[in-house]
Structure 1
Amino acid sequence: MVKKAVLAYSGGLDTSICIPILKEKYQCDEVITVAVDVGQPAEDVKQAEDKAKKISDKHYTLDVREEFVNEYLFPLIKANGDYEGYVMGTSIARPLIARKVVEIAEKEGANVLAHGCTGKGNDQLRFEAIFRLTDMEVIAPMREMNLTREWEINYAKEHNIPVTVTTEKPWSIDENLWSRSIEGGKLEDPGYIPPEEIYKWTVDPALAPDAQLIEIGFEDGVPVSIDGELMNGVDLIERLNHIAGSHGVGRTDMIEDRILGLKARENYEHPAATVLLTAHKDLEKLVLTRSELKFKAHVDSEWSELAYYGLVDEPLFDDLNAFIDNTQHRVTGTVTIELYKGNAYVMARTSPFALYSEELVSFDSQSINQQDAEGYAKYHGFQARHYRRFISGE
């Protein structure tokens, strides 16, 4: 039987050497590569395509940026998506990439699905949660052969595969519209101070310009405008990445708990994500009730964990989205953000659905008779006082 493999391809070291490995070690007769554009730099997409056409049997490049924003990033914003302080750029993109790889495999009549993920990271699980919905064989050469980065670099040289990674600068980079992750090499030491060279989206906050105010407009929980200018999702996020990045906003250096339980040092850049999540969460505080906010915080946490794990086909994920979507009809309005030296501060917010009433809350207002609160005050903390006076002996 002919063994036809479809490989999720990024153009990096791992996925590039997977092509000859799949043929030499796994006896694949044909290797088809699929590069999915979720907002990587255009030159990276082009380089990956050019390389794949030279070393694979057939190649597809799929532009899914609009789908990524509308079907993945907008729900993430509604859910205030955050895992341990990480805005989840890489994790939220993996299920979409995996689904596109499966679509090509079905179109090509393939019987093997492959990826270049290691056995220590999260992506193997995110890809395979989708891949294993099919009856195709799943191959993960990096994991199955227990490969090291040094071995991979040498193997690439032996097979004349051009790679940008070196033993001196072995950064592993992953980019999409929502975030840029940098890991590997000396960054694996949590005590190592990252060099400024690893950052490409954000300027050094110490060198950032004076403060800038921007206004983000939302409709039904989705960002739709910057400073009153309506934009589609892709353009809006790209614009915000540039604006906020120029102020050094959106850097994260963290110790992250991977799905397998390993702790890893991760570095991220995510200017637009920082601004949009900050603004969205603040607008929710203006329009949702205290009970809604309390319950939604738990829902958001559960949503984020499932998304981080790549379990977007879990029925609970649909249930959580149904609740979240129902809360977002009132999350409409504007939020003014100040960008300054690596920080994004909320300065003002407005909404036609605001539960805030200046007339009711003002110290100068007589709309509420303050004397009415006395009865409430008499019973506030009643059980605790009863315990302290009569039971505890205090």
Structure 2
Amino acid sequence: MKKKVVLAFSGGLDTSFCCIYLAQDRGLEVHTVIVNTGGFSDEELNEIEKRAYVLGVASHAVVDETENYYNSCIKYLVFGNVLKNATYPLSVSAERVSQATAIANYVKKIGADYVAHGSTGAGNDQVRFDMIFNILIPNVEIITPIRDLKLSREAEIEYLHKHGVNYNAEKAKYSINKGLWGTSVGGKETLTSHDTLPEEAWPTQVTETAPRRLELSFEKGELTGINSEKLSPVKAIQKLQAIAQAYGIGRDIHVGDTIIGIKGRVGFEAAAPMIIIKAHHTLEKHTLTKWQLSWKEQLASFYGNWLHEGQFHDPIMRDIEAFLTSTQRTVTGNVFVELLPYRFQVIGIESPHDLMSSKFGSYGEMNNAWTGEDVKGFSKIFGNQVMIWHKVNSEQS
């Protein structure tokens, strides 16, 4: 009997090549699985399934991880206001650890001998997939045809044509990855340091230009409503994305340090993530103390970097998640946002936990909780040690 291999499958060029190669050149029984993290419609999933069977796979499965992806990962990226290099909401990084984990569980479920993925040898995904597989299914051998054979896209297309599979070269011009937390876009322009993606490369074209105001409702740090409509966090993200992406909001090109030590550029389209993180952070600035905000920023930066590098299963991540969850007890309220072409503006917030309360004074205008004499004494004591340092050292010079 042929040995089983589970192939992480997207229906794109690389994984289409892997289907044929694993069956024809390696003699394996190929079982494809696609992990939906909120980026596929039912029609798209049906088309991908048809493609898998046309390529001759023994079985094809869809694992829907959207809700689990949010609950185990995205939620904490919001709590931490995580933007890699102050720019990128980790759209692909977060998605890959969720997908790799689900694939490892599927390998266990069907008792496969091998697991395969279509990563090249030049990016982050190879490390994320390999590492998570090594952690969760250490006895299963990993096969990576594109990386091992060092194939160009042109060579892959030629191979498929030789095996009777047509693949549109123009379709392979841009690599697009869509998920709940944003869409990445890669092409020849992102391989340079100076060029930008053309308008037609962006998955969503700009169709809205009239300003629009939204009211975003948060409960303990999670987005749970838009314009007074109660929604689950996943549905709220999807609805906000549908509204805001038509303005061209959230488009950018991220330049980052890869796990393998080289610089990399990727375009991304992430209207909902960028608005949610900015709105959430604004609400936090009103409802948290300065030391809560300070420690959150430090721990969230580590959390985002460690997640980006695939280390999702390190127990320190659960510890940081517990801290982040604790900080969200009072992060409840509404945030008012205005959408405009290619940008948005946070107007303000309202919250029962707003620490900017007029009961205690208005900054620069009126104080209700202290006197001028209190400030005089406080200022003298607060700067006392620094005053002593300057006196002692000025006497020595």
With the shorter chain as reference, the TM-score category is over 0.9
Task: Say which SS state the counterpart of residue 345 (structure 1) adopts.
Answer: strand
- Pairwise CA distance, 1:121: 0.8
**For residues 379 and 367 of structure 1, what CA distance do their matches in structure 2 show?**
19
The letter of the residue matching 2:199 is E
Provide the residue aligned with 2:14 in structure 1.
Answer: 14
Counterpart in 1 of 2:78?
77
Q: Secondary structure at the match of 1:246?
A: helix
Aligned to 2:381: 379
Partner residue of 2:335?
Answer: 335
Contact kept in structure 2, 1:70 and 1:233, CA below 8 Å = no
Which residue is 1:287 aligned to? 287
Where does residue 48 of structure 1 map in the other structure?
A: 48
Aligned partners of 1:17 and 1:114: how far apart in 2? Answer: 12
Q: For 1:213, what is the secondary structure of its paired residue?
A: strand
Task: Quickly say closer, same or farther: Cα 1:52–1:359, change in 2 above 3 A.
Answer: same
User: Is this contact kept in 1: 2:69–2:98, CA < 8 A?
Assistant: yes
- Per-residue Cα deviation, 1:273-326 (whole angstroms, up to 9, x for no partner): 011111111111111111111111011001101111121110111111111111
Counterpart CA distance in 1 for 2:331 and 2:380 is 36
Task: State whether residues 202 and 271 of structure 1, in contact with CA within 8 Å, keep that contact through their aligned partners in structure 2.
Answer: no
CA distance in 2, matches of 1:317, 1:324: 10
Q: What is residue 3 of structure 2 aligned with on the other side? A: 3
Whether the 8 Å CA contact 2:251–2:270 is kept in 1: the answer is yes
Question: In structure 2, what is the equivalent of residue 163 of structure 1?
Answer: 167
**What is the Cα deviation at residue 66 of structure 1?**
2.2
Distance 2:167 2:305 in 1: 34
* 1:111-138 alpha-carbon deviations (Å, 9 max, x no partner): 1000001111111111122211211111
Change (3 A) 1:246 1:166: closer
Q: 1:165 to 1:126 in 2, by over 3 A?
A: farther
Partner Cα separation in structure 1 for residue 66 and residue 392 of structure 2? 65
CA deviations 1:123-160 (Å, max 9, x no partner) are 11111222112111111111111112221122122223
What's the offset of the Cα at 1:350? 1.8
C-alpha distance in structure 2 between counterparts of 1:11 and 1:373, whole Å? 67
* C-alpha distance in structure 2 between counterparts of 1:212 and 1:242, whole Å: 13
**Amino acid aligned to 2:209:** P
Describe the shift of the 1:345–1:113 C-alpha distance in structure 2 as closer, same or farther (beyond 3 A): same
Instruction: Tell me which moved more, 316-325 or 43-52.
Output: 43-52
Matched with 1:118 is: 120
Name the stretch that deviates more: 363-372 or 345-354.
363-372
Code of the aligned partner of 1:224: T
CA RMSD of aligned residues (A): 2.0
Aligned to 1:188: 191
Query: Does the Cα contact within 8 Å between 1:201 and 1:241 map onto a contact in 2?
Result: no
Contact kept, 8 Å, 1:202 with 1:251, in 2: the verdict is: no
Would you say the 8 A contact 1:5–1:111 is kept in 2?
A: yes
- Matches for 1:345-384 after TM superposition, within 5 Å: 345-362=345-362, 363-384=365-386
Selected match of 1:144 from 141, 148, 152 = 148
Give the counterpart letter for 2:60 in structure 1: H
273-282 or 371-380, larger mean C-alpha shift: 371-380
Identity percentage over the alignment? Answer: 33
1:130 maps to: 132
Of 178, 187, 200, which residue of structure 2 is paired with 1:175?
Answer: 178
Counterpart position of 1:108: 110
Q: Is the 8 A contact 2:254 2:267 kept in 1?
A: yes
Q: What letter is aligned with 2:224?
A: V
Q: In structure 2, what is the Cα distance between the partners aligned to 1:345 and 1:202?
A: 21
Map 1:235-274 to 2 at 5 A. 235-274=235-274
Aligned letter for 1:137?
E
1: CA distance between counterparts of 2:371 and 2:262?
57
Structure 2 length-normalised TM = 0.92
1:391 alignment partner, SS class? helix
The one-letter amino acid of 1:150's match is E
Alignment gaps of 5+ in structure 1: none
Tell me the distance in 1 between the aligned counterparts of 2:367 and 2:284: 25
Note the C-alpha offset of 1:46.
2.4
Would the alpha carbon gap of residues 288 and 34 (structure 1) be closer, same or farther in structure 2, given more than 3 Å must change? Answer: same
Q: Could you tell me whether the CA contact under 8 Å between 2:65 and 2:102 is conserved in 1?
A: no
| TM-score (normalised: structure 1) | 0.93
Aligned residues: 389
Letter matched to residue 23 of structure 1: A
**Structure 1 residue 390 displacement after superposition:** 4.8
